[in-house]
Every structure is written in C-alpha cells, then in structure tokens.
C-alpha cells in the first residue's frame, strides 16, 4: 500500500514537473543556487511537521503549487510528512496557541512579533542551521536583525517593506502638482489644494481607526519630525525602560496631526483601517495616503476593477532627519517546543521553497500568470549578486506598473531613506496606546496634544514598562 | 408498628452507599444522569470563573509558572485612568439604552397586539433584525453611518441638514452604537412583551370598552400594569447587557472616538488581556465587574420588592 502510494506520488510530481517545466523562464536569467540541502533530514527518522498558511481551497492554483511543493519535498525526504494548516497569523489567536502548546511547527508571522515569541521561549533558535547552510550571508543583515536577538537567529524572513506615500497621479496633476510632496509642510499645503469635501474627497489620509496601525502610522510621522526609537522608549539598562514620548518631536508630530484635522481640514471623515484605506484610494476618495509597498498587492488582488496605473509611490516626505520610514514584513518561525528532528525539517522545508531556484522561479511565474502582484515596491531581502539576480528575474514577470514606483525605488537604492527600527521595547503596546490617542486628537478639537501625550506616557510607564 | 418495621428494613437494604445521607442516595439515579452535564458545565463555566478569580491575584505567565502578587492587580486598578472613563461610559450607555431602546419594544408589542390584520407578518418583520449576526449588522450600519457616502447623511442632506460624523463625533458615537444595539435586539424583547400581552384576559378590555375607556386609557390602566413585572425584569437585564456590551464598540469604534467615548468594561478587559497579554490585571477587572453587577442586581431586587410590597399594602 505504502509502495503504491509512493509510486503515485512520484507520478504526480513528475506530471506536475512536466506541466511546470516548459513555462519556466528559460529565455531569461535564472537565480543562482545558494542553498545546499542535506542528504537526509533527521537522519532518516520519521518526522511530521505542521505548517501554517496553506492556501485555502478557493485559491485553487496557489493551492496546486503548494501541494506540488509539498509532494516534491516529501519525495525528496520520504521520512518527512508535512501537514498543511489553513491558519494565518493573528496575534490574539496565536497567543492562545502559545498558551495551549498548539503552535504549528512552522508558522508565518509579522516582523513586529519576534520579540514577543522569543521572550516567551516559544520559538526555536535556528542559528546552527543558518551556519550550516551559510544563508546568513545571503540575507540583508538589517532584515535578519529583525529575526535575531543576542546574536541568535530565530526566524526566516520572506518579505520586507517600508512605509511610503501612495498618491493618485491624475488628481495631483489636476491640482497643478507634477510630483509628490518632498516635505511634511509641503504635504499639508498640497493636501489643502487636493481636498474637496463637497465631493467626499480628502487630500491626505493615514490609518485612523484607533488601532495599533494608527499608532504605527503616527510613529512614522513622528520619526519624520525628528523622533528616534530611543527618544520614544529609552533603555535604562538591566532590562528597564522609560517612556520618553511625552515631550519633544512626538509632540510636534501630534500637533501636526491635530492641525491636519482641525486647521488644514484635509483628512477623511470615515475611519480607515488597513483594508478600507486601499478602498478609499482605489475609489479616488483620497489623493495621498501613507501606504506600505505591499498594499499595492492587496489592491491588485482584492480590487480587480482598480486601475493601478493611476497610482504612484514615493518615499516618505522629509523632516529634520530627512526621509525616515518604518519597516514591516513577514518571517517564518519554528515552534520551540518541537523536537530537534521537527525543527530541522521545518527549517529546511522553508529554506528549500524560498531558495531553491526551480521552486522560486516556478512560483514567481505562476503568480505572474495569475495576475498576482509581482513588482511591488518593497525592500531588498537579500544582498549582493543574489538580490540582483532575483530582481532581474522578477523584472520579466512584473504585473504591477513599476515605472510608477521609480521615485520610491530610487530613493531607497540611493540610501535617501533611513529605515528606522521600532521603539526598543513594548512596541506593539506603544502603537496601541498611541492609536487611541491619535483617534482622540482627530475627533476632539480641544484635546491638547502636549498634555495628553504626557499623561499617556506616564500611564504607559506604570502599566506597561514597569510591569 | 409492623408497618414501621417493614419500611425501615427496606431503607436499609436499598441504600447502596450507607455513609452518604439519605437525601442524596434517594435520588442517586437522577444525580448520575445529571453527572455528565455537571462535569461539562463545571469545566467550561465554573472552572474558568474560579481560575479567573485566582488569576486576579497573579502575574500570569502563559508559558511557565504564574507568580502570586497579592492585591497588586487590584491596587493598580486605582491608578488606571480608564476606570473613571469606563464608569462614566457605562452610565451613559445605560441611560442612552433606556432612553432610545427601553420603550421601543413595549410600544411595538402594544401596536402589534392592537392590530386587526397582518399581526403575524409584523411579528416576523420586527423579529428579522434579531436573526442577523452582529458582525453582518455592523457592516450594514457602517454603510449607513459612513460620513462621506453614507445613506443616513444623504437622507439628511435631502432636507438641507449637514452630514454628521456618526461614529467619529464624541457626542454622537454612543447614541449611534445604542441605536444599532436596539435595532438588533428589540425584536426578541417585543416577542416577550407580546406573549405577556396575550395573557391579559380579553374580558378586561371588553369591560373597559363598555365603560367608555379610550385606547390610551386601556393601555394605561390595563396593559401597562400587567406588563410591569416583565418590564421590571427586562429593565435589569437590559442594564446588565448594556454594561457588558463588547461587540459593537469593538467592531465600530475600538473604544474611540474622543477620550475613549465608547470604551466599555469588557472592551477594556479584552484590550488588557489580549492586547497587552496582561491576564492577571484583566482578571482583576473581571472580578470587580461581576461584583458590581451582582450588587446592582441585588439592590434593584430589594428596591423592587419594597415597591411591590408597598403597592400591595
């Protein structure tokens, strides 16, 4: 029975390869192989791993690619069994999974989360695998640092982006602007000209639903006004931190937000979250928005009627410290409670599907053929020739109008954008608190940014940093 | 004498666990049938309550040992700036809900009761919102409240009234949310009132009509007195439900706008438990909330009984 199943598996993989092979980019350049896979995983012992983010049944083509990948890997390593879970990352659900000892062996999470998982001893140290494969020299060290703590690497980053400014090219042109704003002051002035409340058009928007994402966007504005991570939450040594955001540049930034609402009156009336801000941009109800590069992918996939050629993307406007942007992204982590064999299988499965040239090229071509977002204005995940080779390969299959993102891509490559880290401790709690405060400032004209920031900083110290 | 002897003998023979009191063993089969339900209920209801009480005295670690911290979580509550906001919000939410929502089902039930035709049709129509899941209702109401392209603002503009920021204006957020809650629940309450109204003997109305009572007089002197006990009960239940409201503020406003105008106790507990992973502090809030609500219910019951006793006298 087992033999029959194995033969069937080989036939399926062979058929899948036959289908995929002719479509691979033989005409274009291929990416080099930087990963050498081991002859055996777990020394041949039977091992089963649970892997999150299996594509759901309604994404039939993506699911087919995923299943072919799994079948191929299991054929390469017959002792490994992979169980796919249609489980996407959700901070609250995963908190329960950690508490219940139910984390998948390999799971995908956000750049904001490693500190939390590492602090709870919930994830595995992958340093030895990185050293064995040499992949640490392939990754952009700034990106790998997000997955690292005390010299140990705990995750495999697979995607990185920074915040920038998306804008409606035609709306700017109609208002007499041929380029996006270079400074925050310029942004406010342009937004006034672009705002048309009678027709429900706001000149500028950021996520304003009072969630942590609102605090996150506000923090990027604050960085633009000269705030620094340590100027927000300062390390005091011995694991102690102090909340410093009650004064200085953070106050300037909050005053600016207050003025955008109550003096310039350029913000939308509706509350916008991660999804609805894209809807507002796509339906031309807002001219400029703080936007993550991968949200163009979201627009492309979720709003099939949206004409993406209408939208440009530039780096964040400059402040006293130049152009500063917060970063974000996804990485894969491995359950710290899994056995060593399971951890080894999980690491190599992810590394293989991320770095194997055939797997990478096949999935890129498939996504391109499906009209999925290739060409998003995101950050380089790797360094040197390898990164260049991937960019050259992907350029053949771009789906998005990459020429509209030149201002952003050029600024990043020229080093004009400072990619700023998050506050050094309790960043998510800080974003959540500031999201509530920004919501208050936007809805209450009499709320005083300076005194309220000081109060919130004091509360944050007592309830979060001192706990 | 013989008979007494016989009965005692039987009792001795049929008691399988002689150490247990007779009161228990007499219904042993019944208790055995109850046991599975009791075990399940204990695991999913009583154990979490006891555990929450225990956690309120701990610094809870999700992995590893939790640390006992005495009354630290309760002490911290005194410094929490959200405490005053939540207290005020709860009172305002309860007031808005009584103002906007309490009379609606009573009026609708009386109107349906008075209908000569289409009674069944209207019963269904009024009950329909109750079967719509809250999350779906929130999506629909978002469209209605949308300040830029919402149905409500467009309707107001037909009469030259300026559009409002329904969920984003600190003065309007609470009544806007209470309106959605009323819309979602008044159907069920209407049915409860309606079933109570159908219990009123029609002879009373016939006699009143013969005596020349107008419809309003009939409502005042027959209907409302009859409904008073159920209205009194639903008054307490409504306040208990409103103070514990979570879904609507969570989905509509996340506790904003302004200075957390729609932050409710349960939303605050959720934020602290799952936002900050501060389970101990959230448990302390939960315990205090339960104590306050139980105290309120007891106080209301005492006052209500005294009023009823005075009326009887």
User: pLDDT tens across A30-62, in order?
Assistant: 889 999 999 999 999 999 999 999 999 988 888
- Spell out which residues of chain A touch residue B257, defining contact as CB-CB under 8 Å: 210, 439-440, 442-444
Residue A189 has pLDDT above 60, yes or no: yes
Q: A109 has which bridge partners?
A: A331
Both B98 and B54 in one domain: the answer is: no
- Spell out which residues of chain A touch residue B256, defining contact as CB-CB under 8 Å: 210, 436, 439-440, 443
Q: Nearest-CA residue of chain B relative to A286?
A: B148
Phi–psi pair at A376, nearest 5 degrees: -65, 145
Distances (CA, A) of A445 to A343, A434, A439: 53, 17, 11
User: Are the Cβ atoms of B168 and A447 closer than 8 angstroms?
Assistant: no
Of B149, B256, B278, the CB nearest to A439: B256
Supply the pLDDT for residue B17: 59
pLDDT band at A19 (very low <50, low <70, confident <90, very high): very low
Both B60 and B89 in one domain: the answer is: no
The three-state secondary structure class of A124 is coil
Q: Nearest-CA residue of chain B relative to A197?
A: B148
Supply the pLDDT for residue B269: 96
Q: Distance between CA A367 and CA A300 in Å, rounded? A: 12
Average pLDDT, integer, range A341-362: 95
Q: A243 has which bridge partners?
A: A233
User: Are the Cβ atoms of B148 and A269 closer than 8 angstroms?
Assistant: yes
Give helix A212-224 / helix A249-262 axis angle, nearest 10°.
110
For chains A and B, count residue pairs whose Cβ atoms are closer than 8 Å.
88
User: Are the Cβ atoms of A95 and B259 closer than 8 angstroms?
Assistant: no
Distances (CA, A) of B205 to B80, B107, B190, B216, B230: 56, 18, 21, 12, 20
- Give the ipTM of the model, two decimals please: 0.72
Average pLDDT, integer, range B235-247: 92
Average pLDDT, integer, range A417-423: 85
Q: What is the pLDDT of residues B10-61, one digit of tens each?
A: 444 555 556 677 777 778 888 899 999 999 999 999 999 999 999 999 998 8
Q: Distance between CA A344 and CA A336 in Å, rounded? A: 11
User: Are the Cβ atoms of A209 and B63 closer than 8 angstroms?
Assistant: no
Residue whose C-alpha is closest to residue B106's, from B191, B201, B176: B191
Neighbouring residues of A34: CB distance < 8 A, sequence distance ≥ 6: A134, A135, A138, A355, A386
Q: Nearest-CA residue of chain A relative to B251?
A: A209
- Spell out which residues of chain A touch residue B285, defining contact as CB-CB under 8 Å: none
Q: Please identify which residue in the block is written with the tokens 């469209």.
A: B143
Burial of A231 (0-12, 13-18, 19+ CB in 10 A): middle
Both B305 and B231 in one domain: the answer is: yes
User: Are the Cβ atoms of B148 and A285 closer than 8 angstroms?
Assistant: yes
Q: State chain A's mean pLDDT as an integer.
A: 89
- Spell out which residues of chain B touch residue A285, defining contact as CB-CB under 8 Å: 148-149
Instruction: Assess contact for B154 and B166: CB atoms under 8 A.
Output: no
End-to-end CA distance of chain B: 50
Burial of B225 (0-12, 13-18, 19+ CB in 10 A): exposed
Q: Indicate whether B2 belongs to any domain.
A: no
For CA atoms A128, A131, A135, A137, the dihedral sign is positive
Q: Indicate whether B117 belongs to any domain.
A: yes
Instruction: Assess contact for A271 and A286: CB atoms under 8 A.
Output: no
Both B139 and B23 in one domain: the answer is: no
Residue whose C-alpha is closest to residue A116's, from A161, A158, A146: A146
Both B169 and B212 in one domain: the answer is: yes
Both B211 and B283 in one domain: the answer is: yes
Average pLDDT, integer, range A408-435: 88
The three-state secondary structure class of A263 is coil
Average pLDDT, integer, range A314-326: 92
pLDDT band at A21 (very low <50, low <70, confident <90, very high): very low
Number of Cβ atoms within 10 Å of the Cβ of B116: 5
Average pLDDT, integer, range A4-21: 39
CA dihedral A188, A192, A195, A197 (to 10 degrees): 120
Residue B1 has pLDDT above 70, yes or no: no
Q: Distance between CA B2 and CA B299 in Å, rounded? A: 55
Distances (CA, A) of B106 to B117, B123, B228, B237, B272: 19, 13, 11, 15, 38
Residue whose C-alpha is closest to residue B193's, from B250, B233, B155, B253: B233
Q: How many CA atoms lie within 13 A of A20 on its CB side?
A: 23
Of B59, B149, B275, the CB nearest to A200: B149
Q: Indicate whether B10 belongs to any domain.
A: no
Of A120, A428, A440, the CB nearest to B63: A120
Q: Indicate the number of domains in chain B.
A: 2
Pairing of strands A233-237, A240-243: antiparallel
Alpha helix ranges (H) inside A100-248: 114-119, 127-133, 141-146, 169-174, 184-194, 212-224, 229-232
Q: Identify from B63, B141, B144, B174 which residue to disrupt to test chain A contact, counting A C-beta atoms within 10 A and taking the largest count.
A: B63
The encoded tokens of residue B37 equal 């339900």
- Spell out which residues of chain B touch residue A448, defining contact as CB-CB under 8 Å: none
Instruction: Assess contact for A444 and B259: CB atoms under 8 A.
Output: yes
Both B55 and B35 in one domain: the answer is: yes
Supply the pLDDT for residue A127: 97
- Spell out which residues of chain B touch residue A200, defining contact as CB-CB under 8 Å: 148-149
Give helix B134-145 / helix B173-198 axis angle, nearest 10°.
130
Q: Please identify which residue in the block is written with the tokens 């506000």.
A: A218
Q: What is the pLDDT of residues A153-187, one digit of tens each?
A: 999 999 999 999 999 999 999 999 999 999 999 99
Residue A26 has pLDDT above 50, yes or no: no
Q: Is residue B302 reached through a cis peptide bond, with omega within 30 degrees of 0 on the bond before it?
A: no
CA dihedral A63, A66, A67, A69 (to 10 degrees): 160
Pairing of strands A47-51, A80-84: parallel
- Spell out which residues of chain A touch residue B254, defining contact as CB-CB under 8 Å: 209-211, 435-436, 439
Supply the pLDDT for residue A238: 82
Q: Residue B161's domain is classified under what CATH number?
A: 1.10.3720.10
Q: Which domain holds residue B28?
A: 16-74
pLDDT band at A367 (very low <50, low <70, confident <90, very high): confident
The CATH H-level (homologous superfamily) assignment of domain A32-158+329-402 is: Periplasmic binding protein-like II (3.40.190.10)
pLDDT band at A27 (very low <50, low <70, confident <90, very high): low
Residue A404 has pLDDT above 70, yes or no: yes
Q: Indicate whether B4 belongs to any domain.
A: no
Instruction: Assess contact for A204 and A194: CB atoms under 8 A.
Output: yes
Q: What is the pLDDT of residues B80-92, one digit of tens each?
A: 989 999 999 999 9
Both B206 and B242 in one domain: the answer is: yes
Domain ranges of chain A: 32-158+329-402, 209-266+426-467
- Spell out which residues of chain A touch residue B246, defining contact as CB-CB under 8 Å: none
Please tell me which residue, A197 or A1, carries the higher pLDDT value: A197
The three-state secondary structure class of B144 is helix
Instruction: Assess contact for A249 and A225: CB atoms under 8 A.
Output: yes
Winning range, highest mean pLDDT, from A369-373, B206-210, B302-306: B206-210
Average pLDDT, integer, range A224-229: 92
Residue A286 has pLDDT above 90, yes or no: yes
Both B160 and B58 in one domain: the answer is: no
Average pLDDT, integer, range A1-17: 40
Of B59, B80, B260, the CB nearest to A436: B260
Q: Distance between CA B274 and CA A224 in Å, rounded? A: 31
Instruction: Assess contact for A352 and A205: CB atoms under 8 A.
Output: no
Q: Indicate whether B11 belongs to any domain.
A: no
Q: Which helix (H) or strand (E) holds A349?
A: helix A340-355
Which of B74, B98, B120 represents a domain boundary (last residue)?
A: B74
Residue B2 has pLDDT above 60, yes or no: no
Both B213 and B302 in one domain: the answer is: yes
Supply the pLDDT for residue B16: 55
For CA atoms A114, A115, A118, A120, the dihedral sign is negative
Instruction: Assess contact for A298 and A168: CB atoms under 8 A.
Output: no
**d(CA A285, nearest CA chain B) in Å:** 9
Instruction: Kindly tell me the number of DSSP H helices and DSSP E strands found in chain A.
Output: 19, 14
Supply the pLDDT for residue A96: 83
Q: Identify from A103, A207, A269 which residue to disrupt to test chain B contact, counting B C-beta atoms within 10 A and taking the largest count.
A: A269
Q: Please identify which residue in the block is written with the tokens 């006699």.
A: B207
Residue A28 has pLDDT above 70, yes or no: no
Both B68 and B84 in one domain: the answer is: no
Q: Nearest-CA residue of chain B relative to A90?
A: B274
- Spell out which residues of chain A touch residue B147, defining contact as CB-CB under 8 Å: 269-270
Lowest mean pLDDT among A10-19, A120-129, A225-234, B136-145: A10-19
User: Are the Cβ atoms of B168 and A440 closer than 8 angstroms?
Assistant: no
Three-state SS sequence of A176-214: CCCCCCCEHHHHHHHHHHHCEHHHCEEEEECCCCCCHHH
Q: State chain B's mean pLDDT as an integer.
A: 88
User: Are the Cβ atoms of B259 and A211 closer than 8 angstroms?
Assistant: no
Residue whose C-alpha is closest to residue A350's, from A72, A106, A88, A84: A106
Lowest mean pLDDT among A23-32, A209-218, A322-331: A23-32
Residue whose C-alpha is closest to residue A266's, from A343, A179, A208: A208
Q: Please identify which residue in the block is written with the tokens 């091992």.
A: A47
Instruction: Assess contact for B178 and B93: CB atoms under 8 A.
Output: yes
Residue A191 has pLDDT above 80, yes or no: yes
Q: Distance between CA A139 and CA B142 in Å, rounded? A: 44
* Chain A residues interacting with chain B (CB cutoff of 8 angstroms): 91-92, 95, 98-99, 116, 120-122, 200, 209-211, 268-271, 285, 428-429, 432, 435-436, 439-440, 442-444, 447, 455, 459, 462-464, 467
Three-state SS sequence of B57-104: CEECCCCCCCEECCCHHHHHHHHCCHHHHHHHHHHHHHHHHHHHHHHH
Q: Indicate whether B3 belongs to any domain.
A: no
Of A121, A432, A440, the CB nearest to B257: A440
Supply the pLDDT for residue B18: 62
Neighbouring residues of B102: CB distance < 8 A, sequence distance ≥ 6: B235, B238
The three-state secondary structure class of A288 is strand
Both B163 and B60 in one domain: the answer is: no
């Amino acid at each position: 029975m087992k033999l029959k199943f194995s033969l069937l598996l080989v036939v399926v993989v062979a058929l899948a390869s036959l289908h995929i092979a002719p479509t691979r980019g033989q005409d274009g350049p291929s990416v080099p192989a930087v990963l050498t896979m081991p002859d055996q995983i777990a020394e041949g012992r039977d091992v089963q791993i649970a892997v999150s983010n299996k594509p759901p049944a309604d994404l039939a083509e993506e699911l087919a690619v995923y299943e072919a990948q799994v079948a191929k890997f299991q054929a390469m390593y017959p002792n490994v069994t992979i169980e796919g879970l249609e489980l996407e990352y959700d901070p609250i659900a995963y908190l329960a999974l950690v508490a219940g000892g139910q984390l998948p062996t390999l799971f995908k999470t956000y750049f904001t989360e490693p500190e939390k998982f590492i602090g709870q001893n919930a994830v595995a140290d992958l340093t030895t695998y990185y050293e064995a494969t040499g992949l640490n020299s392939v990754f952009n060290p700034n990106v790998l640092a997000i997955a690292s703590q005390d010299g140990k690497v705990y995750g495999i980053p697979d995607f990185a982006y920074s915040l920038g400014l998306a804008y409606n090219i035609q709306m700017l042109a109609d208002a007499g602007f041929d380029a996006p704003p270079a400074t925050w002051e310029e942004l406010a002035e342009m937004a006034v000209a672009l705002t048309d409340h009678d027709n429900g058009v706001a000149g500028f928007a950021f996520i304003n639903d009072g969630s942590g994402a609102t605090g996150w966007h506000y923090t990027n504005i604050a960085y633009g006004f000269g705030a620094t991570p340590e100027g927000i939450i300062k390390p005091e040594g011995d694991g102690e931190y102090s909340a410093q955001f009650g004064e200085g540049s953070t106050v300037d930034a909050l005053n600016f937000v207050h003025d955008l609402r109550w003096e310039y009156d350029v913000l939308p009336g509706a509350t916008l979250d991660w999804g609805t801000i894209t809807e507002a941009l796509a339906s031309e109800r807002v001219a400029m928005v703080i936007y993550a590069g991968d949200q163009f992918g979201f627009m492309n996939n979720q709003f099939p009627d949206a004409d993406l050629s209408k939208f440009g993307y530039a780096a964040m406007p400059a402040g006293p410290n130049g152009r500063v942007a917060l970063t974000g992204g996804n990485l894969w982590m491995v359950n710290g409670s899994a056995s060593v064999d399971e951890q080894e299988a999980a690491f190599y499965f992810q590394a293989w599907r991320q770095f194997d040239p055939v797997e990478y090229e096949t999935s890129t071509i498939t996504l391109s053929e499906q009209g999925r977002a290739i060409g998003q204005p995101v950050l380089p995940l790797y360094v040197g020739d390898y990164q260049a080779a991937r960019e050259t390969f992907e350029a053949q299959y771009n789906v998005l109008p990459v020429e509209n993102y030149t201002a952003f891509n050029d600024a990043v490559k020229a080093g004009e954008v400072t990619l700023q880290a998050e506050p050094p401790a309790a960043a998510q709690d800080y974003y959540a608190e500031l999201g509530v405060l920004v919501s208050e400032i936007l809805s209450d004209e009499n709320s005083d940014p300076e005194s309220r920031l000081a109060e919130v900083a004091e509360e944050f110290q007592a309830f979060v940093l001192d706990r | 004498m013989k008979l007494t002897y016989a009965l005692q003998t039987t009792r001795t023979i049929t008691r399988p666990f002689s150490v247990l009191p007779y009161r228990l063993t007499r219904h042993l089969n019944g208790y055995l049938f109850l046991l599975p339900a009791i075990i399940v209920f204990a695991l999913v209801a009583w154990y979490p309550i006891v555990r929450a009480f225990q956690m309120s005295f701990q610094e809870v670690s999700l992995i590893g040992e939790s640390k006992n911290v005495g009354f630290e979580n309760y002490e911290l509550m005194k410094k929490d700036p959200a405490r005053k906001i939540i207290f005020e919000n709860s009172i305002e939410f309860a007031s808005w809900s009584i103002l906007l929502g309490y009379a609606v089902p009573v009026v609708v039930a009386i109107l349906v009761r008075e209908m000569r035709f289409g009674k069944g049709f209207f019963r269904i129509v009024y009950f329909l919102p109750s079967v719509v899941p809250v999350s779906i209702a929130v999506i629909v109401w978002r469209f209605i409240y949308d300040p830029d392209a919402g149905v409500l603002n467009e309707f107001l503009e037909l009469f030259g009234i300026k559009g409002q920021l329904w969920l984003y204006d600190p003065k309007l957020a609470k009544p806007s949310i209470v309106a959605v809650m009323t819309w979602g629940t008044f159907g069920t309450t209407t049915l409860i009132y309606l079933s109570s109204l159908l219990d009123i003997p029609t002879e009373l109305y016939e006699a009143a009509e013969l005596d020349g009572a107008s419809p309003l007089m009939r409502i005042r002197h027959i209907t409302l007195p009859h409904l008073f006990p159920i209205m009194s009960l639903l008054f307490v239940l409504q306040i208990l439900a409103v103070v514990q409201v979570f879904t609507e503020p969570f989905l509509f406003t996340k506790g904003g706008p302004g200075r957390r105008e729609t932050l409710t106790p349960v939303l605050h507990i959720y934020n602290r438990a799952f936002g900050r992973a501060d389970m101990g502090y959230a448990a302390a809030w939960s315990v205090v909330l339960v104590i306050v609500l139980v105290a309120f219910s007891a106080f209301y019951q005492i006052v209500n009984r005294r009023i009823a006793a005075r009326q009887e006298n």
